[in-house]
């Protein structure tokens, strides 16, 4: 019934919680995740450009912004299931594409349908922009899992996600932006410390002892 | 690593929110849903027995209690996807069964594995107990969607769920318990009224006017 | 006004939060708790049967499923109050029973009233099924408090609950299922480790060092 | 172990949700309720003073601030239970007082124990301040239930609470402040309108038609 | 101490709730809002391009993505305050810019500082992209307030926000994309109906009457 | 339109979350904070009186109860911004006062306007009551930040808040009540321990070893 259905569907992305079925100290929704991935991709593109690569910014933003939109149709299916059988995964992707196409044909004016079919396609291809998206997606996942580990979530899953994300990022270490991330940003993340109780005691005592 | 993993997994069912990706006034998790379905099945079984059917209570409770446990492995996949292609649905069920079997073999002592494989199987079969489960599952879904409609959730989806649930329940109207539900309980549910503003005004005035 | 009131009341159990008035990392409602207790009782019964006891499954499921239903009428009263005076506790139980009876008489068809009066009675009696319920109820409480301790809830109450639950479970160690729990399951629970920061550092380094 | 336990217990009042076991659009905790009751009592006292009564402000604030503190020890017990039997209610109040006294004796320095025993007593007595507290407590309850009714909570309970609160307030209509509330404030509350859909349409059209 | 601080700050945007201090049926955070504004701007830009305007996509995405980032430093200050005095508003914007600059200088490598100073500036300027941002920001606000009105939030504020947003959008009606929005999308939004109780009754009856 | 607007606004204080834009294990609203500050001020006043000071209780309660009410008009602006420029802060306070005055003139009956203008003024002046308010406000902030640190919130901000609060409290150490707090209460707060894993193991073993 028109683009209103598309605008309205953005609200559903806010109600789609990532990694369902596990206790998390902080929950993230797909809309906020997509925002963060696009912001991270923006930084990674900036680094690439600085190191001499040519970045197609329009493409990069489109890929990052839209990369999880089809979850509107399919919901959040657990990763192990998705990859449990190659056959299932292939069928699953077919269904996803069919549902996305059908939605576009039903809701968008004809003149914009081709544009949106291209935009809502899986963007993680071999282009520089596709590679940056793959990295940005995993960096946000790394931060999400690090956030849980840092708050001491006892669920081993978040450790596995952390590991898997880092392994994927490293696969792109031929990119200048990945070298920048691994060399400068990741190390700062790992330096984040928990303020230990002993320090609390010391600070308290030092405040109490100070003459004023 | 043992039955502890199984006990711990029950907690994950509490973090699995039903009908993800849609605004709801009240959220329900899979653990609480399973409880309600079992309680409803208990009532339906009681009605059947009263009308002369023989109920295998052990079977009925097992089916109701465990009917959604495999969602632990697969997450909540949207119904339209699940049934988008018969092929996908078949593959999906195969994957679900494989993952359940693997879990049982890894975590349960050998002597209980067969029992649990039977218990965690899809229970909606042709037996009286399987039929009661089908009805109880839909009655809870009917109540969930009615709760949203009654609170005036503008999302048409809940109306569709209400309709689809009722259609399914009606398919079992050869059962005495379904006749009881449709004849006595559903009508009371529909009688639930919203207290209109005018009534609030009247009550207030009647309290104010009363001499004390 | 009929069984609809009973079905509707199940929703109230979802809004009844256990252990109110204390900060918890994860909240649990009475409906989900009842589900977990029934699942745990199912396992314990399976162990008993394997070791030669005769289990009345219908009874066991009924007891587990319904054991906290009367909290609908009484709300959650703090345990220390409940047992502060024997007299109060006795009166309290009388009131609970009266309210449950009255509800059944008002809402249930006459032919089912006796059945439900029996079902909604306190089930923790001397029978094997009553003992299994006592154990299952405490195992879930143990898991709830362990979950808080593992997430490092600083409130000593959860430690007291952990201790009290374990003491109660141990009182039933003449049961094969309790021996199984204490010998095999509890030890696995205590083996749950927090992934320490140092390990995070090591994994990160090992991923970074690996040639790919 | 000292006043720290008392300060810390204030946090528990923030985790004590009022009217547990019922779906509510907006939840209220006992700490926020106590704040609102004290603010309302302040206004009512101001009206009384203006009309020539002498208000003991120290008493009024003490009564309002502390009136629900003992819920820390007893949790939230459902009103119907509390009054189900006069005997139970009496015993219940005794237990409440005993636990409060014991807490004060254990945690407070001796020199402040008498003061706090007086402060944490039930304050709804025959004095002007006690009557104002009774009214302020019910006005906040009236607002809480009105908030649910206005948001169209289908649960009849909130309507009963609204009615019961108003009936209680009216019993104090010999007070100038109650006459002020019933005459001026309640009528404004009832004038609160829901902006109907038709108005939304009209406003939209009027904006669209306006030349700019 | 580096870009890690910038990446980490994105998480704070997820904890910044829009329109604080008012009851809302559905809360929105600044990260998700920024995502939706960028998606809406993407559509509006597509319409402009179709009607012959030249869109600088890189600029448009940068403006939309970053337009609320400085709220990290200033928090959410209520709109009436911000505009209560022109002087205050001017000072406020100065402080905002100073804090943003300081953050960039402290955390970003020198070679990217100028780029980010430009990116994190207020983007609602006279360019086509600046105008599209102004419109997209208000369209999302319109949807947010419509969502509350449709769920029957009794707070008049949401009606005022709806009106104010629509008035602002209309100011840009020289843009093809605004004509498209007002002509095609807004009308569909207003057609969204609440499924009335009577319809529920009818559907139920029609299901019950149908022979199967 | 009358005092109803004032009573209704108290509900908004419950929706105003303190310290927005940061992950917190436990959120606090302004209404509950105001309650706790008033309770703490009550204790501090009691200590002062015991040590021979004369406390104006009416003033003390008024100051504590109302000290954050103007946040209704201004929302929660981040502290660093508020003090980023002296000029901004001065203008900000002017705006706050103007908005509060305007509200009182619009909503309150004329005879109470002067009283409320005085009540809703900033209360942290040089009087004993003003000093106690300053201390009580910071003690609650200290508890809030301690609660996060104790739950191991990795965000350094809460450590800074803890330190800043303690420094402010210490500035009032000429007061008997501050000496009491620093000497008796703070030390108990710091003694709060986390129950370490090892202790859990020991308790479990000791329970298991005990003969019963």
Among D32, D35, D50, beta carbon nearest to F111: D50
C-alpha to C-alpha distance for E71 and D113, rounded to whole angstroms:
48
| Per-residue model confidence (pLDDT) at position B202 | 73
Q: What is the mean pLDDT of residues E5-10?
A: 95
- The SS3 assignment for B36 reads helix
* Shortest CA gap E207–chain B (Å): 7
Tens-digit pLDDT profile for residues D63-100: 999 999 998 888 777 767 776 777 878 878 888 888 99
Among C194, C207, C208, beta carbon nearest to A154: C194
| Chain C interface disruption, residue of B1, B2, B5, B7, most C CBs within 10 A | B7
| F203 pLDDT tier (thresholds 50, 70, 90) | low
Closest residue, chain B, to A10 (C-alpha):
B21
Across chain C, how many H-helices and E-strands are there?
12, 0
Closest CA to E50 of C11, D69, A44, A110: A110
Helix ranges (DSSP H) in D51-120: 57-66, 71-74, 79-82, 86-107, 110-119
* Shortest CA gap E84–chain F (Å): 7
C203's tokens = 């994994």
Contact B7 C112 (CB under 8 A): no
b (16+ CB within 10 A) / e for D4-33: bebbbbbbbbbbbbbbbbebbbeebbbbbb
Q: Which residues contact F128 (CB under 8 A, 6 or more apart)?
A: F48, F53, F54, F55, F56, F175
- Beta carbons within 10 angstroms of residue E179's beta carbon: 14
Residues in F closer than 8 angstroms to A203, CB to CB, are 159, 162-163
Closest residue, chain D, to E142 (C-alpha):
D204
C-alpha to C-alpha distance for A166 and A160, rounded to whole angstroms:
10
C73's tokens = 């009428």
Tens-digit pLDDT profile for residues E13-55: 999 999 999 999 999 999 999 999 999 999 999 999 999 999 9
Q: Which residue reads 């003694």 in tokens? A: F191
Q: Is the pLDDT reported for residue C194 higher than 60?
A: no
| Per-residue model confidence (pLDDT) at position C195 | 53
* Shortest CA gap C209–chain F (Å): 28
Q: Which residue reads 């109650």 in tokens? A: D178
- Beta carbons within 10 angstroms of residue D175's beta carbon: 20
C188 touches chain A (CB under 8 A): no
B23 touches chain E (CB under 8 A): yes
Tens-digit pLDDT profile for residues F25-83: 999 999 999 999 999 999 999 999 999 999 999 999 999 999 999 989 887 777 677 76
Q: How many CA atoms are closer than 13 Å to the CA of F189, on its beta-carbon side?
A: 27
| Per-residue model confidence (pLDDT) at position F88 | 77
Going from the C-alpha of A171 to that of each of A132, A160, C1, D192, F33, the distances in angstroms are 12, 17, 65, 61, 50
Per-chain mean pLDDT for chain F: 89
C159 touches chain B (CB under 8 A): no
Residues in A closer than 8 angstroms to B76, CB to CB, are 20-21, 75-76
Q: What is the mean pLDDT of residues A188-206?
A: 69
C-alpha to C-alpha distance for B144 and D60, rounded to whole angstroms:
46
- Beta carbons within 10 angstroms of residue A165's beta carbon: 21
C57 touches chain B (CB under 8 A): yes
Q: Is the pLDDT reported for residue D152 higher than 90?
A: no
Please give the biggest Cα pair distance in chain A. Answer: 76
Q: Is the pLDDT reported for residue B27 higher than 60?
A: yes
| Per-residue model confidence (pLDDT) at position C96 | 85
E25 touches chain D (CB under 8 A): yes
Closest CA to B195 of C3, D146, D142: D146
Q: Which residues contact D139 (CB under 8 A, 6 or more apart)?
A: D40, D165, D169, D181, F7
Beta bridge partners of D17: D29
Q: Is the pLDDT reported for residue E157 higher than 60?
A: yes
Contact E151 B156 (CB under 8 A): no
User: What kind and span of H or E run contains A1?
Assistant: none
Among F147, F200, F212, beta carbon nearest to C170: F212
Cα torsion angle, D124, D130, D135, D136, sign: negative
Q: Is the pLDDT reported for residue C35 higher than 80?
A: yes
Contacts of A among chains (3+ CB pairs under 8 A): B, C, E, F
| Per-residue model confidence (pLDDT) at position A206 | 74
Contact A195 F25 (CB under 8 A): no
Contact C186 F204 (CB under 8 A): yes
In chain D, what is the straight-line distance between the N-terminal and C-terminal CA atoms, in Å? 70
Going from the C-alpha of C140 to that of each of C18, C28, C34, C182, the distances in angstroms are 12, 11, 9, 14
| Per-residue model confidence (pLDDT) at position E149 | 86
C-alpha to C-alpha distance for F6 and C47, rounded to whole angstroms:
63
Contact C170 F203 (CB under 8 A): no
Contact C151 A153 (CB under 8 A): yes
The percentage of chain E sitting over the pLDDT mark of 70, rounded to a whole number, equals 91
Closest residue, chain B, to E147 (C-alpha):
B154
B73's tokens = 């492995």
Would you say B34 and A31 are in contact if contact means Cβ atoms under 8 Å apart?
no
In chain F, what is the straight-line distance between the N-terminal and C-terminal CA atoms, in Å? 70
Higher pLDDT, C190 or B177: B177
Closest residue, chain D, to F3 (C-alpha):
D185
Among A150, A195, A201, beta carbon nearest to F159: A195
Q: Is the pLDDT reported for residue C158 higher than 70?
A: yes
Contact B154 E192 (CB under 8 A): yes
Stretch 75-114 of chain F: residues touching chain E, C-beta under 8 Å? 75-78, 80-81, 84-85, 87-88, 91-92, 94-96, 98-99
Closest residue, chain F, to E69 (C-alpha):
F21
| Per-residue model confidence (pLDDT) at position F1 | 64
Q: Is the pLDDT reported for residue C3 higher than 80?
A: yes
Residues in D closer than 8 angstroms to C76, CB to CB, are 20-21, 75-76
Q: What is the mean pLDDT of residues C111-119?
A: 96
With residues binned 3-state (H G I as helix, E B as strand, rest as coil), the percentages for chain D, rounded to 5, are: 70, 0, 30
Tens-digit pLDDT profile for residues A49-105: 999 999 999 999 999 999 999 989 887 677 677 767 777 788 778 888 889 999 999
C-alpha to C-alpha distance for C152 and F195, rounded to whole angstroms:
8
F23 touches chain E (CB under 8 A): yes
| Per-residue model confidence (pLDDT) at position A33 | 98
Would you say F62 and F119 are in contact if contact means Cβ atoms under 8 Å apart?
yes
Contact F112 D50 (CB under 8 A): yes
C-alpha to C-alpha distance for B121 and B111, rounded to whole angstroms:
18
| Per-residue model confidence (pLDDT) at position E201 | 67
Alpha carbon of residue C170 to chain centroid: 16
- The yes-or-no reply on E/C contact (3 CB pairs or more, < 8 Å) is no
A173's tokens = 């270490």
C-alpha to C-alpha distance for F122 and F63, rounded to whole angstroms:
8
Closest CA to B137 of B13, B28, B33: B33
* Shortest CA gap C188–chain A (Å): 14
| E159 pLDDT tier (thresholds 50, 70, 90) | confident
Q: How many CA atoms are closer than 13 Å to the CA of B6, on its beta-carbon side?
A: 28
Tens-digit pLDDT profile for residues F75-124: 777 767 776 777 778 877 888 888 999 999 999 999 999 999 999 988 99
| Per-residue model confidence (pLDDT) at position B194 | 55
Q: Is the pLDDT reported for residue F193 higher than 70?
A: no
Contact F208 C154 (CB under 8 A): no
- The yes-or-no reply on E/D contact (3 CB pairs or more, < 8 Å) is yes
| Per-residue model confidence (pLDDT) at position B196 | 55
| Chain E interface disruption, residue of A5, A31, A184, most E CBs within 10 A | A31
Of the candidate ranges A117-131, B50-64, B136-150, C186-200, the one whose mean pLDDT is the lowest: C186-200
C-alpha to C-alpha distance for B162 and C202, rounded to whole angstroms:
53
| E94 pLDDT tier (thresholds 50, 70, 90) | confident
Q: What is the mean pLDDT of residues B136-164?
A: 91
C-alpha to C-alpha distance for D42 and F76, rounded to whole angstroms:
25
The pair phi, psi for residue A14, each rounded to 5°, is: -75, -20
User: What kind and span of H or E run contains C3?
Assistant: helix C3-14
F34 touches chain D (CB under 8 A): yes
A62 touches chain E (CB under 8 A): yes
Q: What is the mean pLDDT of residues E176-181?
A: 96
Q: Which residue reads 């990763």 in tokens? A: A79
E24's tokens = 């809302």
C-alpha to C-alpha distance for A80 and A212, rounded to whole angstroms:
61
Would you say A128 and C168 are in contact if contact means Cβ atoms under 8 Å apart?
no
Contact E85 F95 (CB under 8 A): yes
Residues in E closer than 8 angstroms to F16, CB to CB, are 20-21
Determine if the pTM surpasses 0.95: no
Helix ranges (DSSP H) in chain F: 3-14, 30-50, 57-66, 71-74, 79-82, 86-107, 110-119, 128-150, 157-170, 176-180, 186-191, 197-209
Instruction: Kindly give the interhelix angle for E30-50 and E57-66, rounded to the nearest 10 degrees.
Output: 160
Among C149, C156, C171, beta carbon nearest to F212: C171
| Per-residue model confidence (pLDDT) at position C210 | 72
| B180 pLDDT tier (thresholds 50, 70, 90) | very high
Q: Is the pLDDT reported for residue A7 higher than 90?
A: yes
* Shortest CA gap B158–chain A (Å): 14
Closest residue, chain B, to C136 (C-alpha):
B7
Q: How many CA atoms are closer than 13 Å to the CA of D78, on its beta-carbon side?
A: 19
| Per-residue model confidence (pLDDT) at position C39 | 98
DSSP one-letter code for E183: I
| Per-residue model confidence (pLDDT) at position A10 | 96
B152 touches chain A (CB under 8 A): no
| F211 pLDDT tier (thresholds 50, 70, 90) | low
| Chain B interface disruption, residue of A21, A97, A153, most B CBs within 10 A | A21
């Amino acid at each position: 019934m028109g683009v209103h259905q598309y605008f309205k569907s953005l609200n559903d992305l806010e109600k789609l919680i990532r990694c369902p079925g596990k206790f998390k100290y902080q929950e993230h929704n797909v809309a906020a995740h997509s925002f963060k991935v696009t912001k991270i991709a923006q930084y990674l593109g900036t680094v690439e450009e600085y190191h001499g690569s040519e970045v197609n910014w329009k493409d990069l933003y489109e890929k990052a912004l839209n990369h999880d939109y089809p979850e509107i149709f399919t919901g959040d299916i657990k990763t192990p299931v998705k990859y449990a059988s190659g056959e299932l995964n292939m069928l699953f992707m077919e269904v996803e594409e069919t549902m996305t196409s059908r939605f576009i044909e039903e809701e968008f004016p004809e003149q914009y349908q081709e544009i949106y079919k291209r935009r809502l396609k899986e963007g993680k291809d071999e282009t520089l922009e596709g590679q940056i998206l793959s990295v940005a997606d995993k960096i946000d996942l790394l931060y999400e899992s690090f956030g849980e580990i840092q708050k001491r979530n006892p669920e081993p899953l978040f450790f596995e996600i952390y590991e898997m994300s880092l392994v994927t990022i490293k696969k792109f270490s031929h990119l200048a932006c990945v070298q920048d991330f691994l060399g400068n940003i990741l190390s700062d993340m790992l330096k984040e410390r928990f303020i230990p109780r002993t320090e609390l005691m010391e600070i308290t005592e030092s405040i109490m002892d100070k003459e004023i």
